[in-house]
Amino acid sequence: MYYGYRCYTNDNEALGWFYTTHKELELNWTTNPDLFYWCKRWKTKRGAEKNFDYYQRRWKSYRRERCGYLKIEIMPEVPSIDENSNRTSQQKWDAKNGKIIEESKAKYEQKNPIWSFRPPSELIEWLEEERWYTEDGKPETNSQLLIRKLNKLKNLECQSY
């Protein structure tokens, strides 16, 4: 059960449930139950009362032509966000298009292979001696060290050494 702000006209007609958009610059209402998760809502009436005056003032200044008012009421059941989330629709798409995903992963891994090897202990000792340290005393990572050394080797190869 949640408490929310119900929007009313000056004629006491219910418009819908109050919500904000664009970093709280736009104030609006909705009657669509699928969009109730957008609405300002609180678990306790006290929580809703805490911010009520602020939103009431904003509502009256934002809706000058219609004015109206807000009222704290118990909201109808809010559908779970999981039912409406993009993640769920993404998972559905993934389930339907497994072959496309596998092809995409294979193509990516072909362009960006990961190499894994165990260098001999002498090579590891030499690499540790060659490792650079930052001014903070932090050592460069293994990948940074290997990339730096491979680039140096590539440059030497290009110079015909």
Q: State whether residue 144 is helix, strand or coil.
A: helix
Residue 77 has pLDDT above 60, yes or no: yes
CA distances (Å), origin 94, targets 83, 89, 98: 16, 9, 6
Are the beta carbons of 47 and 2 closer than 8 angstroms? no
Average pLDDT, the chain: 86
pLDDT, one tens digit per residue, over 3-14 is: 999 999 888 888
Range scoring the smallest mean pLDDT among 25-34, 46-55, 85-94, 102-111: 85-94
Which pLDDT value is given to residue 45?
Answer: 93
Q: Could you tell me which residues come within 8 angstroms of residue 128 by beta carbon, excluding any fewer than 6 positions away?
A: none
Beta strands in 9-152, from DSSP E residues, in sequence order: 14-21, 26-30, 41-42, 69-74
Which pLDDT value is given to residue 59?
Answer: 85
Total Cβ atoms within 10 A of residue 4: 22
pLDDT, one tens digit per residue, over 112-136 is: 888 888 999 999 999 999 999 989 9
